[in-house]
Amino acid sequence: MVLQAAARLSKLWVPNGGIAATAAEDGHSKLIRAGFLRQSHSGIFHLLPLGRRVQDKVEGVVSRHMEESLSASRVSLSSISTEALWEKSGRLHNVASELFRFSDRKDVAYLLSPTHEEEITALVARTVKSYKELPLRLYQITRKYRDEFRPRHGLLRGREFTMKDLYTFDKSLDSATETYHSVRTAYSKIFSELKLPVLAAKASSGDMGGDLSHEYHLPMSLGEDQVVSCSECDYAINEEIAKVRVREEATPGAQLGIWRGISKDGSTLVNVWYPRSAWQPGSADEIRDYADKDINISAVRSIVPDLVVGVEDIQSLWSAALGSETRTANRLLNIVDGRLPLSLSDDIVGESGMSARPEGLNSPEPPLAVSVHAGGGQDFEPLNLLRVRDGDRCSQCSSGILNVRRAMELGHTFLLGTRYSEPLNAKITIPPSTSGIPMQMGCYGIGISRIIGAVAEHLADRRGLNWPIAIAPYSCVIVPGRERDEGDALEVYRTVIGDLGTMEGQFDAIIDDRRATLPWKLTDADLIGFPLIVVLGREWRTGKRVEVQCRPLRIREAVTISDLPQFIRHLYTQLCDI
């Protein structure tokens, strides 16, 4: 084996500092202090050499599974798309507020792509015509852009970010569904290799479209979603669409609560009726209290899609919608939670003893059309309008208890169906028919840069970052003291690399030859988060013994140079298995 020149930290730009150290600093602050990144603008960051190495390794893991597990081909689409194409798909106005938009010198409207469904569908529509060319699986790893209203937490919520997108095209829904499950299996392997305890949760498809969707969440305090999981079965779901068992009988003596809303155009006024106290879902005798903050807004929006949210003074909006000169309201919709008796519906319509309007607002003329929504379906499924709480009983099994946790979304899978192929005319012919049918599509994302921020936040401790071995900037750092000469460090480096450097290129090492004291170097090695640290200290001269430190495994042990390769290999194997 021919050894390449030893990697040296003195040859790598690793600017320390950039932010003051604090006792309660988060993972993002450690990324800055350790020299992985620097902020350029609000929500936009420069990756420095260490950060670039971590991102390269994350991309390598993801690419390998895309190509080996799914036989996907890698492409690189332009970051620029046209507003006309997004108009054609019907998505432009739904996401307009989050787009970076601009015009060229000919006043053609463009945008920086936050995602590439339109572009990839238009490309395939111009190229693929026969079912014999399917299935087709194309992926890319590229920068995306989103004009976030409030960028926060560094790489976790930025305005420029790196994502992996996989787009699949199949001839039938059955084939597309089979592809969807193959991708889910590949995602499980990816997150397992990255040593991330990701929870796959069923989710809403939102503006992306389609009927089947899963999110891949890492439980963490900075998470922006709430994920519900069961203690006994594999039920896992985003809180927005989670369900619990609702008892058929009403809670005795429950007082009524009413939460008010309004549609964006002001035409529909909304009353959500719920019990101030109710049986705990699945419990025989426990009663829980509820308030307006417990309303599941997503459940209400499933009935009123254009519901205004985030408004504290709803009465002023009602007042304007009912004003003699500004009136826009023509309908009053009462939505009734399933914990309340069905007889309440008649009372609401008749307004017998209960005000369906806020105090101070008179009954308008002409009167509003009053309607009630209390559930539906062939078997009349009652509405569940209250958010799931810790301790609720699982709706999928008889004994499970639900756990609600904050989590950060790292990936998302969508079975799109013909959501984009239909409007963008991506069709194939299948004999004997000569008319084209829309391809069945899927799209699958993983946030590459978000993984870096999430790992930093999830695994960092008080001493520094703590990278999984698969994506650490270097697997091992060799740290000689000031009194050790150049040859000592090179001997240890060649001993380690000579034995382990052939392991499919996964193991790498670097020498910290910077002019600094040994204590400073060791503190910096912990901050950077090298999984393995080999120290040439006092015992090197007397017995050619080095100290091997492995913070993830809580190991610190003196080892002779002859035993070092086997010892490092053993630790490396353990780090790959934890």
pLDDT in tens, 471-480: 999 999 999 9
- Quick one: which H or E segment has residue 442? strand 440-447
Residue 247 and residue 490: Cα distance in Å, rounded? 71
Co-location of 429 and 522 in the same domain:
no
Task: State whether 562 and 532 are in the same domain.
Answer: yes
In a domain, 465, yes or no: no
Secondary structure in 3-state letters for 74-119: ECCCCCEEEHHHHHHHCCCCCCHHHCEEEECCCCCEEEECCCCHHH
Choosing from 423, 456, 489, the residue where a domain stops is 456
Q: Are residues 306 and 375 in the same domain?
A: yes
Residue 383 is classified by DSSP as P
Q: Let me know whether 382 and 287 are in one domain.
A: yes
Residue 55, in any domain of the structure: yes
Inside any domain, residue 230: no
- pTM of the model as a whole: 0.86
Domain contains 532: yes
Same domain, 437 and 479: no
Q: What are phi and psi of 563, to 5 degrees?
A: -90, -10
3-class DSSP assignment, residue 393: strand
Asked if residue 68 and residue 118 are part of one domain, the reply reads: yes
The Cα angle at residue 37 between residues 34 and 41, in degrees rounded to 5:
140
Q: For the chain, list residues with pLDDT below 50.
A: 1-3, 352-354, 504
Euclidean distance between CA atoms 438 and 89, whole angstroms: 14
Q: What is the DSSP string of 306-364?
A: TB--S-S-HHHHHHHHH-TTT----EEEEEE-TTS-TTHHHHHHHT-SS-SS-TTPPPP
Both 417 and 363 in a single domain?
no
Q: How far is CA 170 from CA 182, 185, 440, 445, in A?
A: 13, 18, 5, 18
CATH number reported for the structural domain that contains residue 72 in this entry: 3.30.930.10
Strands 476-480 and 509-511, sheet pairing: parallel
The pLDDT assigned to 379 comes to 55
In angstroms, how far is CA 105 from the centroid of its own chain? 37
Measured CA to CA, the distance from residue 563 to residue 57 in angstroms comes to: 29
Contact assessment for residue 511 and residue 9, using Cβ atoms and an 8 Å cutoff:
yes
Q: Are residues 105 and 17 in the same domain?
A: no
Establish if 395 belongs to a structural domain. no
Does a structural domain hold residue 405?
A: no
Look at residue 428 and give its three-state secondary structure. Answer: strand
Among 354, 387, 420, which residue terminates a domain?
387
Structural domain count of the chain: 3
Report CA 197 to chain centroid distance, whole Å.
13
- Residue 207 has what pLDDT? 66
In this structure, is residue 554 part of a structural domain? Answer: yes
Question: Within 13 Å, how many C-alpha atoms sit on residue 516's CB side?
Answer: 16
Q: What is the CATH number of the domain that holds 16?
A: 3.40.50.800
Is 571 contained in some domain? yes
Residues 19 and 40 in one domain: no
Query: How many of the other CB atoms lie within 10 Å of CB of 394?
Result: 25
- The residue assigned the tokens 């807004």 is 297
Domain that holds residue 339: 256-387
Nearest to 177 by CA among 211, 133, 131: 211
Which of 425, 456, 487 finishes a domain? 456
Co-location of 415 and 502 in the same domain: no
Q: Give pLDDT, residue 2.
A: 42
Do 173 and 299 share a domain, yes or no?
no
Measured CA to CA, the distance from residue 222 to residue 406 in angstroms comes to 7
Q: 109 and 144: one domain?
A: yes
Residue with tokens 């053993």: 570
CA proximity to 6, closest of 503, 339, 498, 433: 498
